[in-house]
Amino acid sequence: MSLFEEDLKKLKAKILEMGGLVESAIKDSVRSLTDRDNALAESVIKKDHIINALDVEIDEEAIKLIARMQPKGSDLRFITTAMKITTDLERMGDICVNIAERALEINREPILKPYIDIPRMRELAQGMTRDALDAFMNKDQRLATDVIMRDDEVDDLKYGIVEELLSLMMLDPSKVSRGMKITFVAQYLERFADHATNIAEMAIYLVVGKIIRHTTYASDQADSAT
Amino acid sequence: MSLFEEDLKKLKAKILEMGGLVESAIKDSVRSLTDRDNALAESVIKKDHIINALDVEIDEEAIKLIARMQPKGSDLRFITTAMKITTDLERMGDICVNIAERALEINREPILKPYIDIPRMRELAQGMTRDALDAFMNKDQRLATDVIMRDDEVDDLKYGIVEELLSLMMLDPSKVSRGMKITFVAQYLERFADHATNIAEMAIYLVVGKIIRHTTYASDQADSAT
């Protein structure tokens, strides 16, 4: 294995590590809400700095790798794309912090209704993240396309949640404040899935060479990002 | 002027062009709401593809520039940072589309209350965008820091809007649906300003060399991103 391949392998490992931490964070933040577990919410907030540190590290190493090895073609594309992907992962970590913060607020009040679609959104969004990163690492266009398709399901769940909460809030004003906060959580999950979709689009970009972003998927993305 | 400087100048011009389009989009999308101007909302939605096309173009040119000129040090950092910044600008364009879409929905219903803080948020967010890009282009650390500070004001306005709308919604259930949609607009504006803040942070990164992201500002960012 060449020195370049060695360095690239390390870079990939760090990105996967970051992805794993983001997956844990989304799982734990939603669990802190559904299980009304404040300690878990606090731990998500406390651990976010580890994700942030990896973002900085990967950026620095990618820059060094380009400067030292002067890669071209698909290697150069891989590294610059990796730098963009870690920005998405870092913001996904921030979203988990936001969910945990809302959980701490929501958990102070009586339960509004059992959570069914929120955990389902989380499950989908988490799976999309894992698969988007796999697609990126393995240049797997089919898997990346599949991730992009799954985003519609997340959007549909979010619309359903917002509609249901709106009805509850209109019938009973005492539910307005809680309903609004749970709506925020549904929006966070939708944005989380949007970031996974962005990663999948970049994975396709890497395979196809030309940028497919903003062609077929652009309108769906804009539609869904509420 | 060397060939590299020439190419870099072109790249900068394209980024500024993209920034100008994003500034117009945020101005028009909010005006489509405050002036109940559906044609303006439609035009924001229609013109988003121009912003997207610039994102793709800048990415391609940045990759070519690195491959051909093999820049190091601050030039390399500038170009990879530019690639990240255009991702922010592209998503800011998407947010303007979202605002325009909500405007079309909200404009169908009777006016809830005069818009005062939403245009103020827009003004701040737009100014932050312009200054963040200027700070990036001119490596102006002081201006970038100022942009980051202004984000707090945007966040405060958003909290005020959400609180006010919550009260209206609790008093009168017929206002719940409209109140929720206007809350979404306030959130979009907050996210728009967050992207401007991200650009300002990257501008500082460019000056300082070391990444300052996620150090002093990280917790503010996470706090505010609701």
> What domains does chain B contain, in order, with CATH numbers?
3-224 (1.20.58.220)
Mutate which of A45, A199, A214 to disrupt the B interface (most B C-beta within 10 Å)? A214
Q: How confident is the model at residue A207 (pLDDT cuts 50, 70, 90)?
A: confident
A90 interfaces chain B, CB cutoff of 8 Å: yes
CB contact B50 to A (< 8 Å): no
Euclidean distance between CA atoms A214 and A141, whole angstroms: 16
Which among B170, B212, B112 has a CA at the least distance from the CA of A52?
B212
- Structure confidence at residue A116 (pLDDT): 94
Cβ(B158)–Cβ(B190) below 8 Å: yes
Is residue B219's pLDDT more than 60? no
Q: What is the pLDDT of residues B88-113, one digit of tens each?
A: 999 999 999 999 999 999 999 999 98
Rounded Cα distance, B219 and B209, in Å: 21
Overall average pLDDT of the B112-120 stretch = 95
Take residue A89 and report the two structure tokens written for it.
């992962």
Query: How many Cβ contacts (< 8 angstroms) between chains A and B?
Result: 125
Q: Considering the entire predicted model, what is its pTM?
A: 0.92
pLDDT of residue B218: 43
Determine whether the interchain pair A176/B176 forms a contact, defined as Cβ–Cβ distance below 8 Å: yes
Q: What is the largest CA-CA distance in chain A?
A: 66
B16 at A interface, C-beta within 8 A = no
Q: How high is the mean pLDDT of chain A? A: 92
- Check pLDDT > 80 for residue A37: yes
Question: What chain A residue is nearest to B191 in terms of C-alpha separation?
Answer: A191
Q: How far apart are CA A206 and CA A83, in angstroms?
A: 13
If 0-12 CB within 10 Å is exposed, 13-18 middle and 19+ buried, where does residue A123 land?
Answer: middle
Residues in chain B: 226
- The whole-number pLDDT of residue B207 equals 86
pLDDT attached to residue B208: 85
Q: What is the radius of gyration, based on Cα positions, of chain B?
A: 19
Would an 8 Å CB–CB cutoff place B164 in contact with chain A?
A: no
User: Which residue in the set B63, B95, B226 is minimally distant from A77, CB to CB?
Assistant: B63
> Can you tell me the distance from the alpha carbon of B41 to that of B46, in angstroms, rounded to the nearest whole number?
9
Tens digits of residue pLDDT in B134-152: 999 999 999 999 999 999 9
For A123-171, give the DSSP string.
HHHHHHHHHHHHHHHHT-HHHHHHHHHHHHHHHHHHHHHHHHHHHHHHH
Selected residue of B188, B201, B206, B214 to mutate for chain A interface (largest A Cβ count, 10 A): B214
Nearest by CB: A72 against B67, B87, B95 = B67
CB B41, CB B32: distance < 8 Å: yes
Does B169 contact A166 at a Cβ distance shorter than 8 Å? Answer: no
Would you call A213 an interface residue with chain B, using a CB distance cutoff of 8 Å?
yes
What is the rounded distance in angstroms from the CA atom of residue A226 to the CA atom of residue B105? 13
Which pLDDT does position A205 carry in this prediction? 86
The ipTM assigned to this model is 0.90
Instruction: Output Rg (C-alpha) for chain A, integer angstroms.
Output: 19
